[in-house]
Chains A and B, each alone.
Chain A
Protein backbone atom coordinates (compact mmCIF):
# COMPACT_ATOMS: atom_id res chain seq x y z
CA UNK A 1 0.00 0.00 0.00
CA UNK A 2 1.58 3.30 -1.06
CA UNK A 3 1.12 6.41 1.00
CA UNK A 4 -0.15 9.46 -0.91
CA UNK A 5 0.25 12.69 0.99
CA UNK A 6 -3.04 14.59 1.29
CA UNK A 7 -2.86 18.22 0.56
CA UNK A 8 -5.04 20.36 2.79
CA UNK A 9 -5.35 24.04 2.21
CA UNK A 10 -4.11 25.83 5.31
CA UNK A 11 -7.01 27.62 7.03
CA UNK A 12 -5.38 31.06 6.79
CA UNK A 13 -4.99 30.66 3.00
CA UNK A 14 -8.58 29.55 2.74
CA UNK A 15 -9.71 32.59 4.71
CA UNK A 16 -7.71 35.06 2.61
CA UNK A 17 -8.96 33.56 -0.66
CA UNK A 18 -12.52 33.62 0.62
CA UNK A 19 -12.20 37.21 1.79
CA UNK A 20 -10.71 38.27 -1.55
CA UNK A 21 -13.64 36.69 -3.36
CA UNK A 22 -16.20 38.35 -1.03
CA UNK A 23 -14.57 41.77 -1.30
CA UNK A 24 -14.45 41.48 -5.10
CA UNK A 25 -18.12 40.45 -5.07
CA UNK A 26 -19.05 43.52 -3.05
CA UNK A 27 -16.95 45.73 -5.34
CA UNK A 28 -18.78 44.29 -8.37
CA UNK A 29 -22.12 45.05 -6.72
CA UNK A 30 -20.97 48.60 -6.03
CA UNK A 31 -19.86 49.00 -9.67
CA UNK A 32 -23.28 47.87 -10.86
CA UNK A 33 -24.93 50.29 -8.42
CA UNK A 34 -22.67 53.11 -9.65
CA UNK A 35 -23.64 52.44 -13.27
CA UNK A 36 -27.31 52.42 -12.36
CA UNK A 37 -26.92 55.58 -10.24
CA UNK A 38 -25.12 57.46 -13.02
CA UNK A 39 -27.96 56.64 -15.41
CA UNK A 40 -30.49 57.76 -12.84
CA UNK A 41 -28.51 60.98 -12.27
CA UNK A 42 -28.48 61.75 -16.01
CA UNK A 43 -32.26 61.20 -16.16
CA UNK A 44 -32.91 63.36 -13.09
CA UNK A 45 -30.75 66.19 -14.48
CA UNK A 46 -32.90 66.25 -17.61
CA UNK A 47 -36.05 66.20 -15.45
CA UNK A 48 -34.64 69.08 -13.38
CA UNK A 49 -34.05 71.09 -16.56
CA UNK A 50 -37.58 70.34 -17.77
CA UNK A 51 -39.09 71.38 -14.41
CA UNK A 52 -37.08 74.61 -14.58
CA UNK A 53 -38.62 75.36 -17.98
CA UNK A 54 -42.11 74.64 -16.66
CA UNK A 55 -41.40 76.78 -13.57
CA UNK A 56 -40.81 79.76 -15.85
CA UNK A 57 -44.20 79.09 -17.52
CA UNK A 58 -45.92 78.97 -14.14
CA UNK A 59 -44.26 82.25 -13.05
CA UNK A 60 -42.63 80.76 -9.97
CA UNK A 61 -42.04 83.49 -7.34
CA UNK A 62 -38.40 82.42 -6.86
CA UNK A 63 -35.78 80.92 -9.14
CA UNK A 64 -35.60 77.10 -8.98
CA UNK A 65 -31.93 77.24 -7.91
CA UNK A 66 -32.89 79.03 -4.67
CA UNK A 67 -35.45 76.49 -3.52
CA UNK A 68 -34.62 74.47 -0.38
CA UNK A 69 -33.83 70.81 -0.87
CA UNK A 70 -35.99 67.90 0.28
CA UNK A 71 -35.10 64.21 0.36
CA UNK A 72 -38.26 62.50 -0.74
CA UNK A 73 -39.52 59.14 0.54
CA UNK A 74 -39.45 57.43 -2.80
CA UNK A 75 -38.12 53.95 -2.30
CA UNK A 76 -41.45 52.17 -2.58
CA UNK A 77 -43.18 54.41 -5.10
CA UNK A 78 -46.49 55.95 -4.13
CA UNK A 79 -47.42 56.71 -0.54
CA UNK A 80 -48.55 53.63 1.36
CA UNK A 81 -47.10 51.16 -1.15
CA UNK A 82 -45.03 49.28 1.40
CA UNK A 83 -47.96 48.76 3.77
CA UNK A 84 -50.19 47.76 0.88
CA UNK A 85 -47.65 45.13 -0.13
CA UNK A 86 -47.29 43.82 3.43
CA UNK A 87 -51.09 43.60 3.70
CA UNK A 88 -51.28 41.47 0.54
CA UNK A 89 -48.50 39.16 1.74
CA UNK A 90 -50.00 38.57 5.18
CA UNK A 91 -53.55 38.15 3.88
CA UNK A 92 -52.34 35.55 1.41
CA UNK A 93 -50.48 33.66 4.15
CA UNK A 94 -53.36 33.78 6.65
CA UNK A 95 -53.89 31.85 8.95
CA UNK A 96 -50.14 31.26 8.95
CA UNK A 97 -47.71 34.01 9.89
CA UNK A 98 -44.74 35.32 7.94
CA UNK A 99 -41.43 36.25 9.50
CA UNK A 100 -40.05 39.80 9.32
CA UNK A 101 -37.03 38.47 7.46
CA UNK A 102 -39.14 36.73 4.79
CA UNK A 103 -41.25 39.86 4.34
CA UNK A 104 -38.04 41.86 3.86
CA UNK A 105 -36.85 39.41 1.18
CA UNK A 106 -40.19 39.73 -0.62
CA UNK A 107 -40.00 43.54 -0.38
CA UNK A 108 -36.50 43.53 -1.90
CA UNK A 109 -37.77 41.39 -4.80
CA UNK A 110 -41.01 43.24 -5.37
CA UNK A 111 -39.60 46.77 -5.27
CA UNK A 112 -36.30 45.72 -6.89
CA UNK A 113 -34.24 47.31 -4.15
CA UNK A 114 -30.48 47.23 -4.47
CA UNK A 115 -28.98 45.94 -1.23
CA UNK A 116 -25.20 46.38 -1.33
CA UNK A 117 -24.27 44.63 1.93
CA UNK A 118 -25.75 42.80 4.94
CA UNK A 119 -25.79 46.00 7.02
CA UNK A 120 -28.15 47.64 4.51
CA UNK A 121 -30.42 44.62 4.66
CA UNK A 122 -30.42 44.74 8.46
CA UNK A 123 -31.38 48.43 8.32
CA UNK A 124 -34.22 47.60 5.93
CA UNK A 125 -35.48 44.86 8.25
CA UNK A 126 -35.08 46.80 11.51
CA UNK A 127 -35.98 50.34 10.47
CA UNK A 128 -38.38 49.95 7.58
CA UNK A 129 -40.16 46.61 7.57
CA UNK A 130 -40.40 46.10 11.33
CA UNK A 131 -41.52 49.71 11.87
CA UNK A 132 -44.24 49.32 9.25
CA UNK A 133 -45.39 46.05 10.87
CA UNK A 134 -45.38 47.60 14.36
CA UNK A 135 -47.50 50.52 13.19
CA UNK A 136 -49.89 48.17 11.42
CA UNK A 137 -50.03 46.14 14.65
CA UNK A 138 -50.99 49.24 16.63
CA UNK A 139 -53.75 49.91 14.13
CA UNK A 140 -55.03 46.38 14.59
CA UNK A 141 -54.33 45.12 11.08
CA UNK A 142 -51.67 42.56 11.99
CA UNK A 143 -50.70 40.69 15.13
CA UNK A 144 -47.24 39.61 16.25
CA UNK A 145 -47.22 35.86 16.91
CA UNK A 146 -44.19 36.27 19.12
CA UNK A 147 -45.95 38.46 21.62
CA UNK A 148 -47.56 37.25 24.79
CA UNK A 149 -51.27 37.37 25.32
CA UNK A 150 -52.74 39.06 28.36
CA UNK A 151 -53.10 35.73 30.14
CA UNK A 152 -49.40 34.96 29.61
CA UNK A 153 -49.93 32.43 26.81
CA UNK A 154 -48.42 32.84 23.36
CA UNK A 155 -50.33 33.06 20.13
CA UNK A 156 -48.30 30.50 18.28
CA UNK A 157 -47.75 26.94 19.52
CA UNK A 158 -44.12 27.81 20.11
CA UNK A 159 -42.55 31.22 20.59
CA UNK A 160 -42.27 32.43 17.03
CA UNK A 161 -39.77 35.22 17.10
CA UNK A 162 -40.40 37.94 14.56
CA UNK A 163 -43.44 36.35 12.96
CA UNK A 164 -46.50 38.40 12.06
CA UNK A 165 -49.98 37.33 11.07
CA UNK A 166 -52.93 39.04 9.45
CA UNK A 167 -55.47 39.86 12.13
CA UNK A 168 -58.90 38.65 11.27
CA UNK A 169 -61.78 39.18 13.55
CA UNK A 170 -63.15 35.81 14.54
CA UNK A 171 -66.82 35.23 15.32
CA UNK A 172 -67.51 34.77 19.00
CA UNK A 173 -69.59 31.89 20.38
CA UNK A 174 -72.32 34.30 21.48
CA UNK A 175 -72.62 35.70 17.96
CA UNK A 176 -72.85 32.16 16.60
CA UNK A 177 -75.62 31.30 19.08
CA UNK A 178 -77.51 34.47 18.14
CA UNK A 179 -77.15 33.60 14.47
CA UNK A 180 -78.42 30.05 15.03
CA UNK A 181 -81.42 31.17 17.07
CA UNK A 182 -82.25 33.73 14.38
CA UNK A 183 -82.15 31.02 11.71
CA UNK A 184 -84.20 28.54 13.72
CA UNK A 185 -86.73 31.15 14.75
CA UNK A 186 -88.41 31.40 18.14
CA UNK A 187 -89.07 28.14 19.95
CA UNK A 188 -92.73 27.34 20.22
Chain B
Protein backbone atom coordinates (compact mmCIF):
# COMPACT_ATOMS: atom_id res chain seq x y z
CA UNK B 1 0.00 0.00 0.00
CA UNK B 2 1.58 3.27 -1.11
CA UNK B 3 1.27 6.15 1.32
CA UNK B 4 0.87 9.61 -0.17
CA UNK B 5 1.71 13.09 0.96
CA UNK B 6 -1.68 14.37 -0.09
CA UNK B 7 -4.74 13.09 1.71
CA UNK B 8 -6.90 10.82 -0.43
CA UNK B 9 -10.48 10.87 0.73
CA UNK B 10 -12.94 8.64 -1.05
CA UNK B 11 -16.68 8.18 -0.92
CA UNK B 12 -16.12 4.53 0.03
CA UNK B 13 -14.25 5.56 3.14
CA UNK B 14 -16.91 8.11 4.07
CA UNK B 15 -19.66 5.51 3.60
CA UNK B 16 -17.82 3.00 5.78
CA UNK B 17 -17.23 5.53 8.56
CA UNK B 18 -20.86 6.64 8.42
CA UNK B 19 -21.98 3.01 8.63
CA UNK B 20 -19.84 2.45 11.72
CA UNK B 21 -21.38 5.53 13.35
CA UNK B 22 -24.90 4.43 12.41
CA UNK B 23 -24.26 1.00 13.94
CA UNK B 24 -23.07 2.55 17.19
CA UNK B 25 -26.10 4.86 17.23
CA UNK B 26 -28.40 1.90 16.63
CA UNK B 27 -26.85 -0.25 19.35
CA UNK B 28 -26.86 2.59 21.86
CA UNK B 29 -30.53 3.38 21.15
CA UNK B 30 -31.43 -0.29 21.71
CA UNK B 31 -29.47 -0.50 24.97
CA UNK B 32 -30.84 2.80 26.29
CA UNK B 33 -34.38 1.51 25.72
CA UNK B 34 -33.44 -1.66 27.63
CA UNK B 35 -31.99 0.28 30.53
CA UNK B 36 -34.83 2.82 30.67
CA UNK B 37 -36.51 3.35 34.08
CA UNK B 38 -39.11 0.71 34.79
CA UNK B 39 -37.13 -2.00 33.06
CA UNK B 40 -37.46 -5.58 34.21
CA UNK B 41 -33.76 -6.36 33.94
CA UNK B 42 -31.92 -7.86 36.92
CA UNK B 43 -29.21 -5.70 38.52
CA UNK B 44 -26.36 -7.77 37.05
CA UNK B 45 -27.98 -7.53 33.61
CA UNK B 46 -28.35 -3.78 34.03
CA UNK B 47 -24.66 -3.53 34.99
CA UNK B 48 -23.69 -5.42 31.83
CA UNK B 49 -25.85 -3.09 29.71
CA UNK B 50 -24.35 0.00 31.33
CA UNK B 51 -20.80 -1.29 30.87
CA UNK B 52 -21.54 -1.89 27.19
CA UNK B 53 -23.07 1.61 26.89
CA UNK B 54 -19.90 3.15 28.36
CA UNK B 55 -17.72 1.22 25.90
CA UNK B 56 -19.99 2.32 23.03
CA UNK B 57 -19.81 5.94 24.16
CA UNK B 58 -15.99 5.85 23.93
CA UNK B 59 -16.23 4.23 20.52
CA UNK B 60 -18.74 6.89 19.42
CA UNK B 61 -16.40 9.71 20.44
CA UNK B 62 -13.51 8.08 18.56
CA UNK B 63 -15.69 7.71 15.44
CA UNK B 64 -16.93 11.31 15.68
CA UNK B 65 -13.35 12.56 15.90
CA UNK B 66 -12.34 10.39 12.96
CA UNK B 67 -15.24 11.60 10.83
CA UNK B 68 -14.46 15.23 11.63
CA UNK B 69 -10.81 14.57 10.73
CA UNK B 70 -12.08 13.22 7.40
CA UNK B 71 -14.17 16.33 6.79
CA UNK B 72 -14.57 19.04 9.45
CA UNK B 73 -17.83 20.19 7.83
CA UNK B 74 -19.63 16.94 8.59
CA UNK B 75 -21.75 16.64 11.72
CA UNK B 76 -21.71 12.97 12.83
CA UNK B 77 -24.56 13.65 15.28
CA UNK B 78 -26.92 13.86 12.30
CA UNK B 79 -26.19 10.32 11.17
CA UNK B 80 -29.15 8.06 11.84
CA UNK B 81 -29.25 4.55 13.25
CA UNK B 82 -28.69 1.18 11.64
CA UNK B 83 -29.51 -2.36 12.73
CA UNK B 84 -26.48 -3.92 11.02
CA UNK B 85 -24.75 -4.29 14.37
CA UNK B 86 -27.11 -7.23 15.01
CA UNK B 87 -26.00 -9.09 11.85
CA UNK B 88 -23.48 -11.38 13.67
CA UNK B 89 -26.41 -12.64 15.79
CA UNK B 90 -28.92 -13.33 13.02
CA UNK B 91 -31.37 -11.37 10.90
CA UNK B 92 -31.24 -7.77 12.18
CA UNK B 93 -35.02 -7.33 12.09
CA UNK B 94 -35.74 -10.51 14.07
CA UNK B 95 -36.26 -10.89 17.82
CA UNK B 96 -33.99 -13.96 17.87
CA UNK B 97 -30.97 -11.85 17.00
CA UNK B 98 -31.68 -9.47 19.88
CA UNK B 99 -32.05 -12.36 22.32
CA UNK B 100 -28.75 -13.87 21.14
CA UNK B 101 -27.06 -10.49 21.49
CA UNK B 102 -28.28 -10.06 25.06
CA UNK B 103 -27.20 -13.62 25.90
CA UNK B 104 -23.73 -12.97 24.51
CA UNK B 105 -23.47 -9.79 26.59
CA UNK B 106 -24.51 -11.65 29.72
CA UNK B 107 -27.64 -9.61 30.17
Task: Answer whether residue A70 sits at the interface, using C-beta atoms and an 8 A cutoff.
Answer: yes
- Among B6, B17, B59, B65, the residue within 8 A (CB) of A47 is B65
Please tell me if the beta carbons of B62 and A53 are within 8 angstroms of each other in the complex.
Answer: yes
Take A54-B62, A57-B20 as given contacts and tell me if A47 and B69 are in contact as well, using a CB distance cutoff of 8 Å: yes
Binary CB contact string for chain B from 39 to 73 against chain A (1 if under 8 A, 0 otherwise): 00000000000000000001101111110010000
Please tell me if the beta carbons of A68 and B63 are within 8 angstroms of each other in the complex.
Answer: no
Q: What is the interface of chain B mostly: helix, strand, loop, or mixed?
A: helix
Q: Give the docked Cα–Cα distance between A156 and B5 (Å).
A: 38
Please tell me if the beta carbons of B63 and A50 are within 8 angstroms of each other in the complex.
Answer: yes
Please tell me if the beta carbons of B16 and A70 are within 8 angstroms of each other in the complex.
Answer: no
* Residues 1-40 (chain B) with a chain A CB within 8 angstroms: 3-7, 16-17, 20
Take A47-B69, A54-B17, A54-B20 as given contacts and tell me if A72 and B6 are in contact as well, using a CB distance cutoff of 8 Å: yes
Task: Answer whether residue A46 sits at the interface, using C-beta atoms and an 8 A cutoff.
Answer: yes
Please tell me if the beta carbons of A50 and B61 are within 8 angstroms of each other in the complex.
Answer: yes
Please tell me if the beta carbons of B5 and A58 are within 8 angstroms of each other in the complex.
Answer: no
- Among B6, B16, B61, the residue within 8 A (CB) of A73 is B6
Residues in chain A near residue B69, CB distance under 8 A: 47, 50-51
Take A57-B20, A58-B16 as given contacts and tell me if A50 and B62 are in contact as well, using a CB distance cutoff of 8 Å: yes
Task: Answer whether residue A169 sits at the interface, using C-beta atoms and an 8 A cutoff.
Answer: no
* Residues 44-81 (chain A) with a chain B CB within 8 angstroms: 46-47, 49-51, 53-54, 57-58, 67-68, 70-74, 79
Please tell me if the beta carbons of B5 and A70 are within 8 angstroms of each other in the complex.
Answer: yes
Q: Give the docked Cα–Cα distance between A47 and B61 (Å).
A: 10
Interface residues of B (CB under 8 A from A): 3-7, 16-17, 20, 58-59, 61-66, 69
Task: Give me the 10 closest cross-chain CB pairs, A-B, nearest first.
Answer: A53-B62, A50-B65, A50-B62, A70-B3, A54-B66, A73-B5, A50-B66, A79-B6, A47-B69, A73-B6
Interface residues of A (CB under 8 A from B): 46-47, 49-51, 53-54, 57-58, 67-68, 70-74, 79
